[in-house]
Amino acid sequence: RCLLQAIMAHNYGPHERVSDMHDDEVLALNPRADVHATVRDSRVTREQKRHWKRNEECNGCYKHNDFDDVKHTTLTERAALREAARCLKCADAPCSKSCPTAIDIKSFISCIATKNYYGAAKHILSNNPNGLSCGMVCPTSDLCVGSCNLEATEEGAINIGGLQHWALEVFRKMRLAPIRDPALPPLEKLPSSYYKAKIALIGAGPASLSCATFLCRLGYQNVTLFEKNAFPGGLSSTEIPQFRLPYDVVQFETRMATDLGAKIEYGKKLGGNITIQSLKDNGYEAIFVGVGLPEPKVNDVLKQPLKGILNSKSFLPQVTTASKRGMCACLGTLPELHGHVVVLGAGDTAFDCATSAFRCGANRVTVAFRRGFTDMRAFPEERELATREKCELLPFCLPVAVHGKNGQLTHVEFIRWEKHDDGKYYPDEESRFKLRCSFVISAFGSTLEDEEVIQALTPVAVNNGRIRVDETMQTNVPWVFAGGDITGNGMTVEATNDGKTASWFMHRYIQKLYHASVPDVPQLPRFYTKVDTVDVSVEVAGIKFPNPFGLASAPPTTSADMIRRAFEAGWGFAVTKTFALDKDLITNVSPRIVRGTTSGHTYGPGQGAFLNIELISEKTAAYWCRAIKELKADFPKHVIIASIMCSYSREDWHALTKMACASGADALELNLSCPHGMGERQMGLACGQKAHLVRDITSWVKEVSSVPVFPKLTPNVTDIRDIAVAAHEGGADGVTATNTVSGLMSLRGDGTAWPCVGTEKRTTYGGVSGNAIRPIALRAVCSVARALPGFPILATGGIDSADVGLQFLRAGASVLQVSSAIQNQDFTVIDDYVQGLQCLLYMKACGIPFKGWDLQSPPPVYATHELLKDLPKFGPYQHQRWSARHAEQHQHQQQDPEVSTAPIEAQEPIPRIKDIIGSALGRIGTYNELTHKEHVQAFVHTDMCINCGKCYMTCNDTGYQAITFHPETHLPHVTDLCTGCTLCLSVCPIPACIEMVPRTTLCEPIRGLPPGTEPQRVVCTVGWAHVLFKSVLNEEPSISLQKKK
């Protein structure tokens, strides 16, 4: 740096231009406008594209012993947030209607969009205790995704499974143990039927785990699962490969049941050491059968004594035992496959066998099946994974013989099946052919043929390997219920729902035994943790708010009925639409509320701003006073604030204040800030922009008011602190900060604005609301809080999540008013906000376990293999990455993972809302209070870089030319010229790819010209000095100053 300063002190003659001096090497790949059409030989392009190709799929040669997640639905946090933002959160959402477990899908996706992953997990687990498994393996294209309304648009349906997977993966890392519904009676106060009744569940697969979880939520204390294996999960553990469903996911879902009190006894086999009747004789009053189908369906052709003939029931358990760490006491050995493997069948299991075969050493895999592609039983998710991994598909083929040599399989013989006009398939005996292979794996489905098991089920009837049940999951035996594979519901999600359904009707059956009544409509408890017990109430100006979230005086409070529905949804308070005396009644124009343009061309929900030219309420003061009285009678614990407006008249303010107080309102909000329309009537903004008027009006209201008074401040002033101080001097109990910002949103191509009114298409300045004004509102809250410490502030302006609400509280707000976020969705967002805030407070009390987390976002995970850190993800480098990952995978398999699963508990008292109000103010101040001695620099984590060059371009054209961009790898490198401006991090599309780290070298500003230099004396500029600096250090390029000149 000192050498650089010395070089730049060199003076040049007056004929040299400072503005022309730059580093050609640094700017070599910076975008330039084309002035001519590009001419390039196609052969050159064909050669170049191989270097830059990203969508080349990895085939089997790189998959051997690699059981990492490969599902195309798996999302990172960045992808999850973008996908969640696309969701329309539809009314009467068809996705939920198509989910067998009836998950409230739009609500959990809404929580993800606001980074409230706990709230998302709560919505999922409330209806589906196996939600993480289902998020990974559900055939969503046939269920929720298949019903998504966005399927009607060009961008396609939402990746619901991927979002469910992401939310529950984050929740799993939170390690929060479940508890029973805190609103239900504690266990010790439940009737004897809950702790006396013994309930047995046979099998520990998805159906039984789901049933046990809901029974424990209801309060049953003697729930036991009997599992034949030494591990839980059933077919989820033994037959779904690790790369689709890791074993630690099954362990997590098992803990969700055992943490509530369920017990599991391993080594208990139906037909071995237990039977239905023996359990009944041992006092179990209700039994749930959730066993799988243990035997494979095998074609007689394959019953030959040849090596190399396998079936899914023998092959997949061997694969999972060898790849799922922690499932068995010691890892087994993968089946040793080689050469060409043929898989027979077209269901999901067949494709699991095919993709697993690559990981067991197969060089080539072919899936042969009897029907055509349009009649395949496998869901698209399974087929797409297999084809991505270069599995070959062979339709219309029926195996008729196998051939071998020296006891080893060598060929499978097929005949072709043809589909005729009647829709049926017929064999074509003349179309026979042989397919050379080393192994054949049959996957024709499963059944129950074991006589010992069938006999052990007595007195339950078994027909064709299935147990028949009614809509309550009850068998022919009243005290026996069943679900899952054994009843014909083979999907994990359907098995989960079977267990869920059975739990309620088992509950009803048991309670009737004890002569207790049960509601006709099922009332299964939802999912809870200690997070849900966190108190988020707050007291402001002597008023207790149930939670800090309420409705602003805006479109959501247009009528009393809307406020009623908001209270029923869980909002803590509401500010009525502003009303006035009858002489000041208004009539609104239309159109008057339009979407903003600050978020670009975004349509549907998620608007970053709205603009409105709506005035105050069209309803009379009498209507609102009666409404307030009725609402307070029905919701005595909720807070209602009456918003009132008058002109600068003491008599009018006295009259309206008395009416509002008499109605029973908890407080008054004085609308002195409406930015359009009302100011022209000498009301609203006309009264709120001058401090002495605010002081006078506040004092007039306080003369007659019996409740706290909060003047609503306008941001359309030079310094909002002056207005707040005036309100304080007038006797206000607090203020509301702030109202909408006056603006003109946009002009259309013909020069008219939107909204435009009437045939003349006229408009006026309106109030801008939503996220676009959040920085203004946050600054206003902070400024007022610093000017008037401890003065209550009702904050409003762009609050759309628990995260944002917490920001306002830390900046000094007491409670939070919401409007635009509801306009974007509906009243139910309150669940998201309250649960999210509870979670953030609980995490803060947990301390160290959440170190490194950013609110509810877990810390980023960077590559550990050195080679992966500097390899791009395209072309020839991608193959090197696959090899490096394979080596890293092998290394990790030699070590047992050490991941703690112990539940996290709060280590400190959980903060109350009052404890965090204003907690950030001590770090907010003037510029002169900032240090000039501690600087940062950008650091690029190249293993996360996608090589877009956004950091390079912004640094070149709006920064300090401190980033180089490699022409072959497209990896950026930050040089010592970085001043820590943070532009690169701001435009980077990948979260945590760029990190600002403490600078280790002295940071001295580059002045360009030394202080005191006369303007006509020209010196070298920063970019050129950089090149010369590298030359002095004998780095490339070595360009002499004379040569450059």
3 state DSSP class of 851: coil
Look up residue 803 and give its DSSP letter: H
Residue 786: what residue type? R
* Alpha carbon distances (Å) from 23 to 2, 956, 1020, 1044: 19, 10, 11, 10
| Burial of residue 600, with CB atoms counted within 10 A of its CB: 0-12 exposed, 13-18 middle, 19 or more buried | exposed
The pair of structure tokens assigned to 111 is: 């929580």
CA-based torsion, 359, 360, 365, 366: positive or negative? negative
Kindly calculate the radius of gyration of the chain based on its CA atoms and give it in whole angstroms.
34
Identify the CA nearest to 766 among candidates 845, 863, 680, 675. Answer: 675
Angle at alpha carbon of residue 72, lines to 71 and 78, rounded to 5°: 110
Look up residue 572 and give its DSSP letter: S
Q: Please, how many CA atoms are within 13 Å of residue 794, restricted to the half-sphere of its CB?
A: 38
The pair of structure tokens assigned to 758 is: 């009437």
The CA distance from 22 to 776, in Å, is 39
The CA distance from 992 to 646, in Å, is 51
Q: Check if 674 is active-site.
A: yes
3-state secondary structure 514-559: CCCCCCCCCCCCCCEEHHHHCCCCEEECCEEECCCEEECCCHHHCC
Choosing from 674, 687, 984, 1020, the catalytic residue is 674
Look up residue 945 and give its DSSP letter: -
Residue 212: what residue type? A
829-841 burial: b if 16+ Cβ within 10 Å, else e: bbbbbbbbbbbbb
Strands of 392-394's sheet in order across: 309-311, 439-442, 340-344, 364-368, 392-394
3 state DSSP class of 246: coil
* Alpha carbon distances (Å) from 527 to 122, 213, 257, 483, 1034: 6, 10, 11, 22, 65
Look up residue 769 and give its DSSP letter: E
The CA distance from 549 to 309, in Å, is 64
| Sheet strands (E) in 102-260 | 178-179, 198-202, 223-227
Q: Please, how many CA atoms are within 13 Å of residue 634, restricted to the half-sphere of its CB?
A: 14
Catalytic sites, residue numbers: 674
